[in-house]
Amino acid sequence: MTLPDAFAAAATDTDPGMDAGSGAAQEVLRRVFGYDSFRGDQREIVEHVVAGGDALVLMPTGGGKSLCYQVPALVRPGVGVVISPLIALMQNQVDALSALGVRAGFLNSTQFPDERRAVEAQFVAGELDLLYLAPERLRLESTAQLFDRGKVGLFAIDEAHCVSQWGHDFRPDYLALSMLHERWPDVPRIALTATATAKTSDEIVQRLDLGNARRFVASFDRPNIQYRIEPKNKPDRQLLDFIRTEHAGDAGIVYCLSRNSVEKTAAFLTENGVSAVPYHAGLDNRTRAENQTRFLREDGLIVVATIAFGMGIDKPDVRFVAHLDLPKSVEGYYQETGRAGRDGQPSTAWMVYGLNDVVQQRKMIDSSEGDAAHRRQLQLHLDAMLALCETVSCRRVQLLNYFGQHEQQPCGNCDTCLNPAESWDGTVPAQKLLSTVLRLKRERGQSFGAGHIVDILLGKKNPKVLQHDHHELKVFGIGTDLRDIEWRGVVRQLLAGGLLAVHGDYGVLTLTDASNEVLFEGRQVLLRRERERPTKPARAAKAGKAAAAAEMAPADVPVFEKLREWRAATSKEQGVPAYVVFHDATLREIAARKPTSLAELGTVTGVGENKLAKYGEGVLEVLGAE
């Protein structure tokens, strides 16, 4: 009998009441995962599911969702079936569970039929604790028959927001999930997501028929992530500076909008001595899989990617997420930045953003497929994202408010808190700009993009201006009190605030109702002052490798480094990511406590029974050699 089997037996031999479930759950947590206590709502969730209840769990990335279904799967009789869209990561999830001594398998389209048959046989024989399943397999009648031949202990629906059309990860296959409840009404279901808007969670409840499920909503704050948004000048240079000064040697994810800029940015970083690999849908499958595996396994590698990358990436020590282009929604931004710092250590969410982002996104919305209502929805998403970029108050407060969490206190760990943004009265410049747009339209019947409007304001007699006789306009040269970059900032902020609109392929500027309030009704315009070079927040230096080391007593640092070397060798030998062997936090605790026996080592957080048996001697040897 394997380890988890013993717990399943322990749980079912006694009365399946709450207490038995709770005791068994605690025992699994300690012996299998090596953790002393549940975090936040985990205990309640686990007990609820162990007792057979349905649950909807809204918890931020890094909050500890996996344990919420893994522990009940081990405690309840039968196999925990996990529906997950993350096919490319199933092998990793199974590896990580195997390292803990948990019997896990997966079924998806990447397997050969004989591999699949072997997993199915294990399932039917009750030789699995957890089975990961791609959602499209639910369409197959053979899958339903398989479930009937074996015993399902629970259904976990991971990334449950994929059922929502409001969100940005909609998967039609997820709609088929409602049949789980219809066909196996007695099997408890637990749906989990890190996407938090009320709209999304209502949709999950409705579409998955979870009306009677208990809802668990955790705080969506990620206090260890520092949020920063800076004006975009030379994005590649800015990124390199940011990495060199704050995250040298750290693992990170850089998001770009296009494949082309992914390739260019990855090449630029590599040329400058920063190890980075590209990831986007245009790469062949092998290269993509290889780059993802390298990112998961190596210490300190950077992945430059389109948003195709990252869902379900559970690498705990991603120290920064950088955006070189504006995400399409706050949901997207929150989810992508949330991939930083799952281990709770200081991390940075850094973004550069400029006028072109607004123009480009607007263009994409105009040319997007779908009806007016759909475009309106995209525009609402963009507006919320722009408001976050332009806010002069705490970014975290605004982010949490967006998700319906009414936080008031400034966080002290975002750029606007650390370096309060100055605002200035931009009413006059706004009027100058808007009246230029208005005159062109009224007097000439023309519309132009931001660059040309700014040239007119600055009184530049360039070929385009001369060609159109725009130097004869009354507004020509009325804006020489601001520089080009400042004018672009004005345009950007007016766009973000809805005081100006941008349209079409050429990104032409047009007035809105609100523009008229500024022009004719004395509406005041407060703008955020642009900093040429944003000063680095004082606490930013805390993030990064140096910081992780700084939290340790100096004498422990060499021990920690030795342990890391041992871990690198061990993980390489076994072909698994370093964090599957032990997390940094575990190595740090070992370095600090320097246990001298297996029993003592077993009390360190993150050292479960299986890992103790597998790695205990090795770790003691490293310590003994000190």
Q: Which residues bind ligand ADP (CB under 6 A)?
A: 35, 38-39, 42, 59, 61-67, 314, 316, 342-343, 583
343-361 burial code (b ≥16 CB/10 A, e <16): bebbbbbbbbbbbbbbbbb
**Cβ closest to ligand ADP, residue 63 vs residue 310:** 63
- Output the six-digit token pair for 71: 């522990």
**Complex with Zn ion: residue 180 or 417, whichever CB lies closer:** 417
Q: Which two tokens stand for residue 316?
A: 């705990």
Picked from Zn ion, ligand ADP, none, the partner binding residue 440 (CB below 5 to 8 A depending on kind) is none
Shortest Å, Cβ 223 to Zn ion:
10
Residue 294 partner contact from Zn ion, ligand ADP, none using kind-dependent CB cut-offs of 5 to 8 Å: none
Q: What is the 3-state secondary structure (H, E, C) of 204-228?
A: HHHHCCCCCCEEEECCCCCCCEEEE
Residue 394 interacting partner from ligand ADP, Zn ion, none (CB closer than 5 to 8 Å by kind): Zn ion
Contact footprint for Zn ion (CB under 5 A): 394, 396, 410-411, 414, 417
Q: Pick one of ligand ADP, Zn ion, none as the site partner of residue 62 (Cβ within 5 to 8 A by kind).
A: ligand ADP
CB of 68 to ligand ADP, least distance (A): 8
Q: Which does 336 bind (CB under 5 to 8 A by kind): Zn ion, ligand ADP, none?
A: none
Name the residue nearer to ligand ADP (CB basis): 327 or 608. 608
66 interacts with, out of Zn ion, ligand ADP, none, CB within 5 to 8 A per kind:
ligand ADP
Nearer to ligand ADP, 123 or 333 (CB): 333
**Distance (Å) of CA 92 to CA 97, 118, 216:** 9, 18, 27
Question: Residue 500 corresponds to which amino acid?
Answer: L
CA 57/CA 70 separation, integer angstroms: 14
**Do the Cβ atoms of 132 and 105 come closer than 8 Å?**
yes
CA 429 to CA 483: how far, in whole Å? Answer: 12
Least gap, CB of 63 to ligand ADP (angstroms): 4
Q: How far apart are CA 396 and CA 393, in angstroms?
A: 9
Indicate which of ligand ADP, Zn ion, none lies near residue 414 (CB less than 5 to 8 Å, by partner kind).
Zn ion
**DSSP category for residue 551:** T
Torsion sign, CA atoms 464, 466, 472, 474: positive
| CB-nearer residue toward ligand ADP: 58 or 205 | 58
Comparing CB distances to ligand ADP, the nearer of 168 and 583 is 583
CB of 539 to Zn ion, least distance (A): 11
**Residue 531, binding choice from Zn ion, ligand ADP, none, Cβ under 5 to 8 Å by partner class:** none
Q: Which is nearer to ligand ADP, 264 or 593 (CB)?
A: 593
Choice between 421 and 485, CB closer to Zn ion = 421
Residues 6+ apart with CB under 8 A from 483: none
Strand, helix or coil for residue 171: coil
Minimal distance, residue 367 CB to ligand ADP, in Å: 35
Residue with smaller CB distance to ligand ADP, 29 or 508: 29
Separation CA 333–CA 338 (nearest Å): 8
The span from the CA of 157 to the CA of 148, in Å, is 19
The 10 Å CB-count burial string (b at 16+, else e) for 159-183 is: bbbbbbeebbbebebbbbbeebbee
Least distance from C-beta 240 to ligand ADP, angstroms?
Answer: 29
Q: How far is the CB of 309 from ligand ADP (least distance, A)?
A: 16
Residue whose pair of structure tokens reads 């990124």 in the numeric block: 239
DSSP structural state of residue 107? E
Minimum Å gap between C-beta 159 and ligand ADP is 10
Choosing among Zn ion, ligand ADP, none, which partner's interface includes residue 61 (Cβ < 5 to 8 Å by kind)?
ligand ADP
Contact 620, 595 (CB under 8 A): yes
- List the single partner that 417 binds among ligand ADP, Zn ion, none, CB under 5 to 8 Å by kind: Zn ion
Which of Zn ion, ligand ADP, none does 411 bind, CB closer than 5 to 8 A by kind?
Zn ion
To the nearest whole angstrom, how small is the minimum distance from the Cβ of residue 516 to ligand ADP?
47
* Residue 227: CB minimum distance to Zn ion, A: 7
How many residues in total does the chain contain? 626
Closer of 270 and 419 to Zn ion (Cβ): 419
Detail the DSSP E strand segments found in 241-396. Answer: 251-255, 276-279, 302-305, 318-323, 347-353
C-alpha Rg value of the chain to the nearest Å: 27
C-beta of residue 455 within 8 angstroms of C-beta of residue 464? yes
Distance CA 292, CA 294 (A): 5
CB of 349 vs ligand ADP, minimal distance in Å: 15
Nearer to Zn ion, 421 or 473 (CB): 421
